[in-house]
Amino acid sequence: MPFLRLYQKFQSGLKWITRQRKAGINIEAQESRFKQTIAEPMDLAWKNLTREEQDDFIKKSRKDY
């Protein structure tokens, strides 16, 4: 999965996790699955990007805010 798609899923997942925690819902199983299927692959994909690709992504992502 391309890095951008993983990043988008990561952002969405973090928002969902935060909402669930604020509501007091126990989501340990979902958090574990999120780490395995999204966070860890995203970390690996980030490490495989060149420094230029990382810098370019950072610049583009900052424009979104």
Name the burial class of residue 38, with classes exposed (0-12), middle (13-18) and buried (19+) by CB atoms within 10 angstroms of its CB. buried
User: Structure pTM?
Assistant: 0.78
Judge contact between 38 and 10, C-beta under 8 A.
yes
pLDDT tens string, the chain, 65 residues long: the values are 688 899 999 999 999 999 999 999 999 999 999 999 999 999 999 999 999 999 999 998 887 54
Domain extent listing, the chain: 3-63
Q: 16-27 burial string, b = 16+ CB within 10 Å, else e?
A: eeeeeeeeeeee
